[in-house]
Chain A
Amino acid sequence: DIQMTQSPSSLSASVGDRVTITCQATQDMTIHLNWYQQKPGKAPKLLIYDISNLETGVPSRFGGSGSGTDFTFTISNLQPEDFATYYCQQYDILPFTFGPGTNVDVK
């Protein structure tokens, strides 16, 4: 199985900050990496697919990049509604696996 790690596991930030989360896979991947946002008590929401493609309706302050085993998720101008947990997910090889999540909370 491909294992996914994320760092940091949590971070504190303020509105307007730039936030960066990294995701690392245990083996080289092609483009099959997605990012999700989850708020407490809610289902996850797809934000970014295929490393860097913004899902329809997702604000452009969200972005993704990377290749191989190292990927980055960025929020360029953190908004109040962005405080949440973020997960990366690979679908290069079954079983699909998620990172452990990064909780972004208020500084």
Chain B
Amino acid sequence: EVQLVESGGGLVKPGGSLRLSCAGSGFTFSNAWMNWVRQAPGKGLEWVARIKSKSVGGTIDYAAPVRGRFTISRDDSKGTVYLQINGLKTEDTAVYFCVTGGYRFDFWGQGTLVTVSS
């Protein structure tokens, strides 16, 4: 059974940083393309970042609102994908979901809440 477990969310002041983690199991993590998708409270879904598998170059893509502030990375030996978030803004407040898939988002974690507030 595929499982994705996010952690690392919390309450942070504007300008602060967080590192989100997502541990995957039940699938060959090293072959998986991994994404982060976020959802602000009461709002819709927003794709944030994707990292391809190393076998196809490990290419990384970001949504414009987070480019330069967010960094996605992976550690295949730990079956974990990370999202380093710097320079947090109040508009980054959201549940952050870890999601498998290159183009269709097959499996989703339960999400971790990031709240940015002074």
Contacts and interface: CB of A to CB of B under 8 A. Distances in A.
A105 B105 CA distance: 24
B44 A100 contact: yes
Chain A residues touching B, range:
20 to 34
Interface in B37-94: 44-47, 50, 61, 63-64
Chain B residues touching A, range:
10 to 19
Identify the 10 closest CB pairs spanning chains A and B, nearest first: A43-B108, A91-B103, A96-B47, A49-B104, A98-B45, A95-B63, A34-B104, A101-B44, A100-B44, A94-B61
Given A42-B110, A98-B44, 15 more contacts: A1-B64, A34-B104, A43-B111, A44-B45, A44-B108, A45-B108, A46-B105, A50-B104, A55-B106, A94-B61, A95-B63, A96-B47, A97-B47, A99-B44, A101-B45
